[in-house]
Amino acid sequence: MNNIELWKIIVGIITAIFLLLIKDAHSKANKQKIVATKFNAYLIYWRGIVLDNDWFEIFYIGVKWNNEEKKIRIDGGDIQDILKLKTKYKDDMNGFKEFLLPEISKLEEQLLKRLPLEYIELYDNDFIKIRQNIIDGKTFITDEEASCLGYYNANNIISFKMELVSVINALNFLILSVSSKTIKYNFTDNIDDIIKLFWQGIIISKHIDHLSNEMDKIAKQNHFKLVVNNFLK
């Protein structure tokens, strides 16, 4: 075998590997666009639930927090600045607790008006169904689908899913506790759990706003650029 034939074999192998990588990058780009579009539809669904239940104030706090994080990054801030901002919002919840305590009876009254006790079993079944639909990937993407969107997005998506399931479980427990005929649920004694629910609502709103922007970027990104990015990674 002479040198020319050897080089032809080497070039052929390199070309085959290159084409295989390009094909893989192209396939991944297609999947990313499909998953991003699909997940964006789910985010619209979850955002609608938040806003339809008059939780705009909570959603707005999440959006405001994201905007402040963006400004920190644009101004050259680091992770410590991001954590300080989170601490600030966390501390604000203590002030919210002081505000909520005198209004706790109104909160209890509003909740009971929204939840007729004769339909409490239906609410319980709804929560079970909502939670299972998330886990089964019927109103959420699967972890495998999330992984194709990159480590950063996958980490945020899975964190969002866990937070969402946690809130659904907490809301279900709260409703069952309030409706209990054997034990009187005391809102004042459980104020910290209620505050935690508000905090989780802010985190969920923050995730919805942030991930909606990220999925929109992927869905609208130039396909060729997406293929190149996947190839280089």
Residue, of 161 and 118, whose pLDDT is higher: 161
* Rounded distance between C-alpha atoms, residue 61 and residue 82, angstroms: 16
Whether residue 47 is contained in a domain is answered as yes
Residue 124, pLDDT score: 64
Residue 212, pLDDT score: 95
Please say if the pLDDT value at position 97 is more than 80. no
Q: How much is the average pLDDT of 78-106?
A: 83
For the chain, how many structural domains are there in total?
Answer: 1
Whether residue 231 is contained in a domain is answered as no
Supply the range of the domain harboring residue 194. Answer: 39-220
Whether residue 84 is contained in a domain is answered as yes
Please say if the pLDDT value at position 122 is more than 80. no
Residue, of 80 and 232, whose pLDDT is higher: 80
Whether residue 11 is contained in a domain is answered as no
Whether residue 18 is contained in a domain is answered as no
Q: What tens digit of pLDDT does each residue of 23-63 get?
A: 888 888 899 999 999 999 999 988 888 887 777 888 999 99
Mean per-residue pLDDT over the chain, rounded: 83
Is the alpha carbon torsion for 36, 37, 38, 42 positive or negative?
positive
Residue, of 99 and 158, whose pLDDT is higher: 158
Whether residue 166 is contained in a domain is answered as yes
Report H helices in the chain.
3-52, 56-74, 79-100, 104-114, 120-135, 143-147, 151-178, 191-220, 223-232
Q: What's this model's pTM, rounded to 2 decimal places?
A: 0.82
